[in-house]
Structure 1
Amino acid sequence: MALCSQTGALGPGDRSRASGGAKRTQADAAQRTAAAAAQAAPASAAAEAGTSPQEELRAQLHALQQQLDGVREDQQASAVLIRSLAEQNAQLVHAVDALRARTRWLGVACALLGVTTLGLLIWTLRL
């Protein structure tokens, strides 16, 4: 976990927050769709009750405008989520690059240690 805080990588809490945001966005979209359907039902009921076609069209237009507003809000929430995921992805890429560099240095250090050990072994056997 210390590596995550040093490199700026995501911890387990960050991943759960991102998935929680996606779940909230889906739940909000489902609620808005249900609300739009509920508003459309009174409009069709009003049409059957004998209201004028203009009033029926206004009611449908109003319902569609509210549904469009809901879609816009969903789109904005999705854009925020995508932006957040992109930032997290950039942090992960940075962390992986740092780990690759450390692994490279560790490989060089191990190779030098191996060569030194082999040299000492040969020197010891000559004595």
Structure 2
Amino acid sequence: MSVPIDAVAALAAFQSVGSWEQRARLLMQWGERLPALADEEKVDANLVQGCESLVWLVGRLHDGHWQFAASSDARMIRGLVALLLARVNGLSAAELQAVDLPDWFNQLGLSRQLSPSRSNGLNAVLQRMRELSHSPH
């Protein structure tokens, strides 16, 4: 199972900070670094259903590998989504199916951040990625 270079970097960053506060701050920083989506991408068709916050997701296939971009109106969700993108960008459709979301956030030491509603929201984002990767292009 290949792990994208951004995911390796994320793990290194999060595992190097000791306290919960530092991890929360790092999470916000990842969210702030998330590239903004263009206004024309923030349309209802790109909204992820099942998230309490607004999350827009777009995906493109490059040489058999998926690249996703996303945005959210909620800071915490933006950070979590940024970390999800770090884990999935550059994967094939088959590899996307195998991504273990709880395990990924557990490795990052962020399980405590995942309230049931956030967890459901992130699962909805991952589910949408999988749908996009299987829809005809």
Give the TM-score normalised by structure 2. 0.26
Give the TM-score normalised by structure 1. 0.28
Bigger strand share: 2
Bigger helix share: 1
Task: Kindly name which structure, 1 or 2, has the bigger radius of gyration based on alpha carbons.
Answer: 1
